[in-house]
Structure 1
């Protein structure tokens, strides 16, 4: 994304103004953005800045201050101590979302996949995870750093998580108590669990046969853009649909078949075997994921 910045564009100038006026980051965001513009062909330093934006600990304050002095920017871009890790995580999300806007997109969509893996954590780890989910999906519990950022968060969790973990395992009652003991916000932890319990069930493919047929054309259009020389086949007959069949598996089936035909021959005989078994949420806590509560 950074490589697509156009410094003379109105969208970049708006982005730069936002960065310079942003209240978070102790000056690190405007300083690193200014350096990114000035460094030119210094690929190693440019790469370090981009990786810092992306979340890696690649920059030290002494190095940044030295680079600012070397380019005559020290007085214009003073930096303080690097913000605490949690705040910095939220800041990076907001910064990257605004960076998306600067190169012409509407913002950033963050996909949180396989939330049900939380079930294998210790109770304390689950509470911490609910806290993060509460920050991401709660209506009143967004961190200040990302409140006005062009961000959309979307999560996915298995249907039985609420019953198995929140109810039967007792997290509805246990998690808020642990949160209070560990000086976490009870409201945020509850918001994370509520986000799971209020998730929208996906429609069964059995109810969406016509929509899936029309989706084939949209997916094929995207595939054609990726591989312009691809020989586009006729729309296929849908495979037999079951109550557990997912749209994701159908799209994966199409792309697998197209990949094989594109690599070998459009006339290649293909047989695709799929395992449609849906596993329930694993409930056993894994000892290797335990952490020292201290």
Structure 2
């Protein structure tokens, strides 16, 4: 029938899941189909989110080998949080989004922030739905204006202006939204607008870009809470890329990881964080390159208070990676049987056939879930094309690459 939506038909959903799993992509369909076998990490995650929702921000770090299911688990945790009403952001550490740059990290988090059922970035949705005559807005403004918030005066000023101009001047209200999302805002125009609504000339102190980004994070989290979200979950993937930075940029990245993990966003800030990185990072980089000694030595040799502070934060970040990583549990025989049965059912739905049993890979402790999944899917593909064929699959491990890459230092301009 013309115009019939078949996008959610069982065969289509199954096909999307199979194709994503074949490519090693943790799509929503793939994760929904397989779930997660990491119950201990899920329990720790739910405890952390409950604490963050009451104003105690914190983080957790998960580790696993290539193909062990880190990205799959992040997508699963994202779905748990979204179902509970949380705002969720996904930040992939990359050349464009280096972990050591708070400005670019905030921008990536704000741009990707979504609540379940919303199409626009959550900061925009939260501002649009904020009851400007209600208690939540009044409490947000009171907090932003207090010394305890440690926010620059730009935030209470723009929040006051937004209440006056959201309906009367949508263009300038959009300027304010862009400021909250990471763009600069011209100070002369801001002062002029405040005067026009009868406010006294505000003091707008200078603030460095990295500090302003951190303040935006705190403010946006409180804005999202005022709009009804229990908290803001930020998921960092491929964190091991920091191993390819220079020593100084690794130091800054360790310090930023420590700041997020210790919830240094300020009291009553409902932010939860999950980092995912390879499980051999500590051995290959922190120990293998002697970062534990060289990073603080190089920094303290500068002889400045700023360098000493960075050295201490970097040391904390390295200790967290060494001692607080929650390793993914390898799949046991029961989980493998369940996943195999579910994949067999999905493959049959996707292609309209009855897949026979296939051998796949030998069940060894070092074999990762992605290797099992790819082997089963590939063998069913081959047998479907030639029922007489008996495929044999071999797995080859790909070693992590932690060689320093100077090109990663040259981040593109915004």
For normalisation by structure 1, the TM-score amounts to: 0.71
> Is residue 308 of structure 2 the alignment partner of residue 189 of structure 1?
no
Task: Specify whether residues 15 and 279 from structure 1 end up closer, same or farther in structure 2 by C-alpha distance, changes over 3 A only.
Answer: farther
Residue 112 of structure 1 aligns to a residue whose secondary structure is strand
Partner of 1:117: 241
Q: Which residue of 2 is the match for residue 101 of structure 1?
A: 225
Q: 1:177 aligned to 2:297?
A: yes
Task: State the shift of 1:13 in Å.
Answer: 2.5
How many pairs does the alignment contain? 244
Change (3 A) 1:159 1:13: same
Q: Which residue of 1 aligns with 2:162?
A: 36
List aligned pairs for 1:155-166, cutoff 5 A.
155-166=275-286
Deviation of 1:207 (Å): 6.2
Match of 1:201?
327
Where does residue 284 of structure 1 map in the other structure?
403
- Is the CA contact (8 Å cut-off) linking 2:153 and 2:205 kept in structure 1? no
Return the offset for 1:167: 0.7
Provide the TM-score with structure 2 as the length reference.
0.52
CA displacement at 1:102 relative to structure 2: 0.3
Shift of residue 23, structure 1, vs aligned partner: 4.2
Q: CA separation in 1, counterparts of 2:397 and 2:268?
A: 38
Q: Structure 2 stretches of 5 or more lacking a match?
A: 1-125, 343-354, 378-383, 386-394
Bigger relative contact order, structure 1 or 2, given CA contacts below 8 A and separation 6+?
Answer: 2
What's the CA shift string for 1:41-94, capped at 9, x where partnerless? 43322222111111222x02111101111222x31x713223222221211111
Query: Kindly tell me: are residues 149 and 179 of structure 1, through their superposed partners in 2, closer, same or farther at Cα, counting changes over 3 Å?
Result: farther
Secondary structure class of the residue paired with 1:157: strand
Q: Deviations over 1:196-244 (max 9, x none)?
A: 222100122336729977xx9xxxxxxxxxxxxxxxxxxx99x968731
User: Could you tell me which residue of structure 2 aligns to residue 223 of structure 1?
Assistant: none
Quote the RMSD (CA, aligned, Å): 3.5
Question: Does 1:7 pair with 2:128?
Answer: no
Q: Distance in 2 between matches of 1:209 and 1:66?
A: 63
Q: Structure 1 unaligned runs (5+)?
A: 217-235, 254-268, 271-275
